[in-house]
């Protein structure tokens, strides 16, 4: 990775080939056969490519790599799960996912709480917590910075917590 970051194209090509094999083996061992395995591997390679400037050659490479892989894969699996749940029922495809899978009334409760929030916070929570978008994707979608999106999500969650406490609902 250090040589690749210094501009050695051959080292970079070799690194990405080795990473692809290692990432695929890791994901298969960790999650078993997944429909989206190849997509996960490709997304992980893109993530490594985009984050390569953050690698510190004084530290071990594998922990850095697999931290990126683990986080990216979790993001992809969450997004896939949310989209699978909403697309399984065509009548619900346009709705936000339920707050709790086990409680059929939870979706209505979530919508009621979102309606009581500042619109920017409600939008941030809808995109990140229900639609499964990452902070960066939600920020791009709404035209704000990732930092602003994180702030909106944090403030929205805090407001929901306060609303629930005010109503006497456990959080």
- Are residues 42 and 25 part of one domain? yes
- Are residues 15 and 71 part of one domain? yes
Q: Could you tell me the two tokens for 51?
A: 């984050």
Among 27, 53, 87, identify where a domain stops.
87
User: Using CA atoms, how far apart are residues 93 and 105, in angstroms rounded to an integer?
Assistant: 17
- Are residues 22 and 61 part of one domain? yes
Among 57, 87, 117, identify where a domain stops.
87
Q: Taking a C-beta distance cutoff of 8 angstroms, is the pair 65, 48 a contact?
A: yes
- CATH number, domain at 144? 1.10.10.10
Among 87, 121, 142, identify where a domain stops.
87
Instruction: Give the tens place of pLDDT for each residue, 116-171.
Output: 888 899 888 888 887 778 888 889 888 999 999 999 999 988 998 888 888 776 65
Number of structural domains, the chain?
Answer: 2
- Are residues 101 and 68 part of one domain? no
Domain coverage including residue 137 = 96-167
- Are residues 53 and 11 part of one domain? yes
One-character DSSP codes across 91-152: GGTTSPPPS-TT-TTHHHHHHHHHHTS-HHHHHHHIIIIIS---HHHHHHHHTS-HHHHHHH
Instruction: Give the tens place of pLDDT for each residue, 70-100.
Output: 888 888 877 766 545 444 444 444 444 333 3
- Are residues 158 and 117 part of one domain? yes
Which among 143, 145, 141 is positioned nearest to 128, based on CA atoms? 141
- CATH number, domain at 54? 1.10.1740.10
Is pLDDT at 101 greater than 60 in this prediction?
no
Q: Taking a C-beta distance cutoff of 8 angstroms, is the pair 24, 32 a contact?
A: no
Instruction: Give the tens place of pLDDT for each residue, 15-56.
Output: 999 999 998 888 888 777 667 778 888 888 998 988 888 989
User: Using CA atoms, how far apart are residues 32 and 18, in angstroms rounded to an integer?
Assistant: 20
User: 37 CB contacts (<8 Å, ≥6 apart)?
Assistant: 24, 27, 28, 31
């Amino acid at each position: 990775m250090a040589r690749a970051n210094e501009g050695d194209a051959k080292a970079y090509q070799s690194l990405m080939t080795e990473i692809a094999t290692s990432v695929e083996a890791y994901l298969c061992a960790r999650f078993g056969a997944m429909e989206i395995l190849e997509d996960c591997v490709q997304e992980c390679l893109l993530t490594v490519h985009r984050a390569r400037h953050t690698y510190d050659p004084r530290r071990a490479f594998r922990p850095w790599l697999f931290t990126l892989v683990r986080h990216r894969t979790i993001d992809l699996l969450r997004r896939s799960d949310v989209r699978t749940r909403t697309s399984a029922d065509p009548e619900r495809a346009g709705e936000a996912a339920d707050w709790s899978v086990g409680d059929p009334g939870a979706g209505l409760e979530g919508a009621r709480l979102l309606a009581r929030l500042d619109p920017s916070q409600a939008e941030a929570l809808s995109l990140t917590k229900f639609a499964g978008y990452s902070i960066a994707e939600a920020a791009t979608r709404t035209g704000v910075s990732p930092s602003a999106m994180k702030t909106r999500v944090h403030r929205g969650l805090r407001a929901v917590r306060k609303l629930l406490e005010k109503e006497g609902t456990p959080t």
